[in-house]
Chains A and B, each alone.
Chain A
């Protein structure tokens, strides 16, 4: 039975002892401060990552399926994919003709590292040849200007739609629309800029430049080039139906015998989900590792100082016992004190973490000037602070238990004699 009067007394002692030994206490809680700091920062980072990721995916759309020669994820299938025949434009067009369930089937091909320039500035990026339907998907939604039209596609017009990142690089202070850029030294008129969509490892999405397929052929040729079909299912629930139809139709088009595996890849946004999950996982592993390390160091520090505290106050323990303190009273007194020390550490760590979080947020927002940054909170979520406090209480109890137990078992006669 623990009496509330004793608990209040323990708390009072803990506060008094902290105040009496302020410098010692601050130094002692160092490990705990670092641990709490990492826990909070890691939680915030993962939270932010999830939310930005969700935003990116939702802009591009979870209802997209890409029929390709190459698998997006899975390096182990690289040899297998290489041995496949290219997916031809005719096959993609046939797929578009025959499929009935999806909203759009859009042919695409890509030139990696194509050079583009504007005035003295130049860069290498991914040039995508596609048709006007791409502009109707969320992935092609326009920030400024317009997407190219089917007429421009048929006429093989030299018009280009640039990604947000490329527009920023080539036209930092002016509108890209109406300017003429050179792709492989061929002049193209920029008609539109696509909204910012990618972040971090998906950044390349915003570097892409889109030109009509026919114009692409004139610039880069179709020889030895594999195409992909970007299929927009319409909504997520249709995904299974559309996937089944796409696979079935493509097998017929490519004459895959019934007993053989598909000789093409079906890529979906999930491939990126895997990537996001693995980044998330590694943040956890590193974060948990560092946290555990910090807390081990921290609790050794706390335990050590608690042993010192018990020794210093042997006489006091003797007096308290003589006056009627039971074992549980003394045990609680020292547990409250060690827990209080840890909470004190958390109290130091949390404002520091908040300052760092705010700084990261400010820097990230200014570097990316990206709406997605607003999905990440500038304040540490309250539940994370709750977790931090909970963890520090647990660490306090674990670090304090042995010294507190030792104190509670002291013989009052011996303790009273201690000077």
Chain B
């Protein structure tokens, strides 16, 4: 296996619902290596969203060990988590989550603002990222002037701009029609072929089929973990 980026051991996440304890994840262990293309699948309520939040360092586990490139995530402070999200993780969301009042370019520049990159460099890198997803001619457009597919491309450019260790996509085609969805999946394919590590979270078999490894989650447990060809 290539260099291990994500290493999860016996990870659990428990939510307190009044008196009751709800296990969103129970004793999950998995590893994701460099340049893997992984789909995390499961029905709603299976815990896949929680798992995705954990992997994305948006949330911390209740117990177990999460090591991201050798760093222990569980003991990190909020600001350490913010920094690791900024440098190492590129998010692509189902609802795109672009800032509505900012242009495509400004949206893509945003992560670089928080890494302290100078304005000139930011612009340069953001333009390159937009070019790479085929939106070189839409830089000054605002999200509401773009189609769904174009918005998701902006979001992918934003995820790429910091050259993160992994791209984490949560139902990236969920708000798109089939054809556009296929186009977006082609973009991820290209990223993977160019050496990126891609983790998809989805409940659609058609989408998961693009990945080279499928991890199925149910009731907070890993049900199966299979490498496809």
Q: What is the chain B residue whose CB lies nearest that of A329?
A: B114
Known: A5-B119, A6-B113, A412-B58. A327 touches B97 (CB 8 A): no
Alpha-carbon distance between A261 and B145 when the two chains are bound, in angstroms: 93
Interface residue ranges of B111-161 to A (CB < 8 Å): 111-119, 122, 158
Beta-carbon contact of A326 and B78 below 8 Å: yes
Known: A3-B116, A5-B118, A413-B53. A323 touches B101 (CB 8 A): no
Which residues of chain A are within 8 angstroms of B111 by Cβ–Cβ distance? 323-324
Give the interface centre of A8, A316, A322 by most chain B CB atoms within 10 Å: A322
A-B contact pairs, 17 of them (CB 8 A): A4-B116, A5-B114, A5-B116, A6-B116, A320-B114, A322-B56, A323-B114, A324-B83, A324-B115, A324-B162, A325-B82, A326-B82, A327-B78, A329-B114, A411-B59, A413-B59, A416-B97
B140 to chain A, nearest CB (A): 15
The number of chain A residues with a CB under 8 A from chain B is 26
Instruction: Confirm or deny: A9 has a beta carbon within 8 angstroms of a beta carbon on chain B.
Output: yes
- Which of A5, A16, A319 is B97 in contact with, Cβ under 8 Å? A319
Beta-carbon contact of A323 and B59 below 8 Å: no
Known: A5-B117, A413-B58. A323 touches B79 (CB 8 A): no
Q: Which of B27-35, B84-92, B183-191 sits within the interface?
A: B84-92
A residues neighboring B (CB under 8 Å): 3-6, 8-9, 16, 20, 315-316, 318-329, 411-413, 416
Q: What is the chain B residue whose CB lies nearest that of A17?
A: B101
Give the interface centre of A6, A325, A327 by most chain B CB atoms within 10 Å: A325
Sample of 17 more A-B contacts, CB < 8 Å, known A20-B101, A320-B110: A3-B116, A5-B117, A6-B114, A9-B113, A316-B99, A319-B97, A319-B99, A322-B58, A322-B97, A323-B85, A323-B111, A324-B87, A324-B111, A324-B114, A324-B162, A326-B78, A329-B114
Interface residue ranges of B57-89 to A (CB < 8 Å): 58-59, 78-79, 82-83, 85-87
Instruction: Confirm or deny: B37 has a beta carbon within 8 angstroms of a beta carbon on chain A.
Output: no
Instruction: Confirm or deny: B93 has a beta carbon within 8 angstroms of a beta carbon on chain A.
Output: yes
B26 to chain A, nearest CB (A): 19
Q: What is the chain A residue whose CB lies nearest that of B82?
A: A326
Alpha-carbon distance between A321 and B101 when the two chains are bound, in angstroms: 17
Which residues of chain A are within 8 angstroms of B116 by Cβ–Cβ distance? 3-6
Beta-carbon contact of A323 and B78 below 8 Å: no
Beta-carbon contact of B117 and A323 below 8 Å: no
Alpha-carbon distance between A4 and B116 when the two chains are bound, in angstroms: 7
B161 to chain A, nearest CB (A): 10
B103 to chain A, nearest CB (A): 12
Q: What is the chain B residue whose CB lies nearest that of A12?
A: B106
B185 to chain A, nearest CB (A): 22
Q: What is the chain A residue whose CB lies nearest that of B97?
A: A319
Which residues of chain B are within 8 angstroms of A324 by Cβ–Cβ distance? 82-83, 85-87, 111, 114-115, 162
Known: A5-B117, A5-B118, A20-B101. A323 touches B83 (CB 8 A): no
Alpha-carbon distance between A28 and B82 when the two chains are bound, in angstroms: 33
Alpha-carbon distance between A324 and B86 when the two chains are bound, in angstroms: 4
Which residues of chain A are within 8 angstroms of B83 by Cβ–Cβ distance? 324, 326
Q: What is the chain A residue whose CB lies nearest that of B50?
A: A413
Which residues of chain A are within 8 angstroms of B122 by Cβ–Cβ distance? 5
Shortest 6 CB-CB distances between A and B: which pairs? A324-B86, A3-B116, A324-B114, A326-B82, A326-B79, A323-B111
B174 to chain A, nearest CB (A): 14
B191 to chain A, nearest CB (A): 18
Alpha-carbon distance between A307 and B78 when the two chains are bound, in angstroms: 22
Give the interface centre of B56, B91, B113, B116 by most chain A CB atoms within 10 Å: B113
Known: A8-B119, A322-B58, A412-B58. A327 touches B114 (CB 8 A): no
Alpha-carbon distance between A385 and B117 when the two chains are bound, in angstroms: 35
Which residues of chain A are within 8 angstroms of B110 by Cβ–Cβ distance? 320, 323
Alpha-carbon distance between A323 and B91 when the two chains are bound, in angstroms: 8
Which residues of chain B are within 8 angstroms of A329 by Cβ–Cβ distance? 82, 114
Give the interface centre of B53, B58, B112, B158 by most chain A CB atoms within 10 Å: B58
B136 to chain A, nearest CB (A): 22
A301 to chain B, nearest CB (A): 24
Beta-carbon contact of A322 and B59 below 8 Å: no
B79 to chain A, nearest CB (A): 4
A341 to chain B, nearest CB (A): 18
A221 to chain B, nearest CB (A): 88
Which residues of chain B are within 8 angstroms of A328 by Cβ–Cβ distance? 79
Q: What is the chain A residue whose CB lies nearest that of B85?
A: A324
Which residues of chain A are within 8 angstroms of B158 by Cβ–Cβ distance? 323
Q: What is the chain A residue whose CB lies nearest that of B49?
A: A413
Which residues of chain A are within 8 angstroms of B59 by Cβ–Cβ distance? 411-413
Q: What is the chain A residue whose CB lies nearest that of B111?
A: A323
Alpha-carbon distance between A321 and B98 when the two chains are bound, in angstroms: 13
Q: What is the chain B residue whose CB lies nearest that of A328?
A: B79
Which residues of chain B are within 8 angstroms of A322 by Cβ–Cβ distance? 56, 58, 85, 91, 97
Alpha-carbon distance between A220 and B83 when the two chains are bound, in angstroms: 94
Q: What is the chain B residue whose CB lies nearest that of A324?
A: B86
Q: What is the chain B residue whose CB lies nearest that of A323?
A: B111
Beta-carbon contact of A416 and B114 below 8 Å: no
A80 to chain B, nearest CB (A): 74
Alpha-carbon distance between A324 and B78 when the two chains are bound, in angstroms: 10
A2 to chain B, nearest CB (A): 10
